[in-house]
């Protein structure tokens, strides 16, 4: 168990940032009027005003608060946005990748028996061929069939943008066919080859997949902004 503390410097930073963006937006609009600038300047000012203003409103409502916590498994000290740890939400440690959750008493490791309602437990997709752990991807009992799951990531390139699709045959038992055992797509916290993350409802299946397919872990930049990954 570990304690959670408010990360005051990050909280103050995000507040200052939202105020600056809001003021910048107001400033650009005021100057647009005074100096008779083009329509583009109004639009730019408006974008800053909406972006900064909505962050400010969110911050005042108690959102976008950052908390500091120590991983209950490896002890690594890290920062998350408070809403990433809201009731029933689970996040991976930024060092050991073990999932943790928070309750009134602090932060605890997620039990390997955990089955989430949605595929949320992420494993980085390895480059090239990879193996599925034996047994149903949801309950671990001997698999009796496979189901095809497809996902895609989007890459913005210098010359052209392209969508990359990955299709996998997931081992499942009769009972868990069509039960959303696995999903494939861009990772929220952890991603691998071509930004793909393989996501499981069963935490044990996710851990087994990672063990079978060791790969260099990458963290996502989107999560760095939204959930305070460092
Ligand atoms: Zn850890
Ligand atoms: Zn099953």
Question: Residue 17 falls within a domain, yes or no?
Answer: yes
Q: How many CB atoms lie within 10 A of CB 118?
A: 9
- R_g (Cα) of the chain, nearest Å: 21
For residue range 132-150, list pLDDT tens digits in order: 999 999 999 999 999 999 9
Is residue 191 within 8 Å of residue 197, measured between CB atoms?
Answer: yes
The alpha carbon of 149 and the centre of ligand 2 are apart by a number of angstroms equal to 16
The alpha carbon of 206 and the centre of ligand 2 are apart by a number of angstroms equal to 14
Ligand lying nearest the CA atom of residue 202: 2
Q: What is the pTM of this model?
A: 0.72
Ligand lying nearest the CA atom of residue 95: 1
pLDDT for 211 beyond 50: yes
What distance in Å separates the CA atoms of residue 205 and residue 182, rounded to the nearest whole number?
A: 10
Average predicted confidence (pLDDT) for the chain: 85
The alpha carbon of 11 and the centre of ligand 1 are apart by a number of angstroms equal to 23
The alpha carbon of 111 and the centre of ligand 2 are apart by a number of angstroms equal to 18
Domain boundary among 90, 110, 130: 110
The alpha carbon of 165 and the centre of ligand 2 are apart by a number of angstroms equal to 26
Q: How many CB atoms lie within 10 A of CB 12?
A: 11
DSSP letter string, 74-97? T--EEEEEGGGGSTT-EEE-TTT-
Query: Residue 101 — pLDDT band, cuts 50, 70, 90?
Result: very high
Structural domain count, the chain:
2
What distance in Å separates the CA atoms of residue 202 and residue 118, rounded to the nearest whole number?
A: 9
The alpha carbon of 147 and the centre of ligand 2 are apart by a number of angstroms equal to 12
Query: Residue 229 — pLDDT band, cuts 50, 70, 90?
Result: very low
Taking alpha carbons only, the member of 169, 226, 160, 222 closest to residue 195 is 222
Ranked by mean pLDDT, the top range of 5-14, 47-56, 88-97, 129-138 is 129-138
Is there a single domain that holds both residue 36 and residue 68?
yes
The alpha carbon of 23 and the centre of ligand 2 are apart by a number of angstroms equal to 55
Question: Residue 115 falls within a domain, yes or no?
Answer: no
Question: Residue 116 falls within a domain, yes or no?
Answer: no
Ligand lying nearest the CA atom of residue 140: 2
For residue range 33-44, list pLDDT tens digits in order: 787 777 788 788
Query: Residue 219 — pLDDT band, cuts 50, 70, 90?
Result: low
Is there a single domain that holds both residue 147 and residue 98?
no
- Helix (H, G, I), strand (E, B), or coil: what is residue 169? strand
CA distance to 24, 49, 128, per residue, from 40 (Å): 15, 14, 46
Domain boundary among 75, 110, 145: 110
- Write out the residue range of the structural domain in which residue 150 sits: 121-226
The alpha carbon of 149 and the centre of ligand 1 are apart by a number of angstroms equal to 30
Is there a single domain that holds both residue 99 and residue 163?
no
Domain boundary among 110, 131, 150: 110
Is residue 197 within 8 Å of residue 185, measured between CB atoms?
Answer: yes
Is residue 39 within 8 Å of residue 108, measured between CB atoms?
Answer: no
pLDDT for 24 beyond 80: yes
Is residue 167 within 8 Å of residue 101, measured between CB atoms?
Answer: no
Is residue 183 within 8 Å of residue 201, measured between CB atoms?
Answer: no
Is there a single domain that holds both residue 77 and residue 138?
no
What distance in Å separates the CA atoms of residue 61 and residue 210, rounded to the nearest whole number?
A: 38
């Amino acid at each position: 168990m570990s304690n959670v503390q408010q990360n005051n410097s990050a909280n103050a930073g995000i507040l200052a940032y939202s105020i600056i963006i809001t003021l910048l937006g107001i400033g650009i609009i005021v100057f647009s009027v005074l100096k008779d600038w083009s329509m583009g300047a109004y639009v730019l000012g408006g974008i800053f005003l909406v972006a900064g203003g909505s962050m400010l409103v969110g911050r005042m409502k108690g959102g976008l608060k950052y908390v500091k916590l120590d991983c209950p498994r490896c002890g690594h000290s890290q920062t998350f946005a408070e809403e990433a740890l809201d009731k029933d939400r689970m996040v991976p440690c930024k060092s050991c990748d073990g999932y943790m959750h928070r309750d009134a008493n602090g932060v605890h490791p997620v039990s390997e028996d955990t089955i989430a309602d949605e595929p949320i437990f992420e494993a980085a997709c390895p480059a090239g061929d990879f193996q599925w752990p034996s047994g149903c991807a949801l309950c671990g009992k001997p698999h009796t069939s496979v189901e095809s799951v497809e996902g895609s990531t989007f890459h913005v390139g210098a010359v052209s943008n392209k969508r990359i699709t990955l299709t996998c045959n997931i081992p499942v038992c009769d009972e868990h066919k069509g039960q959303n055992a696995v999903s494939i797509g861009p990772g929220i916290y952890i991603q691998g080859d071509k930004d793909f993350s393989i996501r499981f409802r069963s935490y044990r299946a996710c851990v087994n997949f990672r063990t079978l397919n060791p790969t260099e872990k990458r963290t996502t930049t989107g999560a760095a902004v939204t959930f305070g990954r460092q």
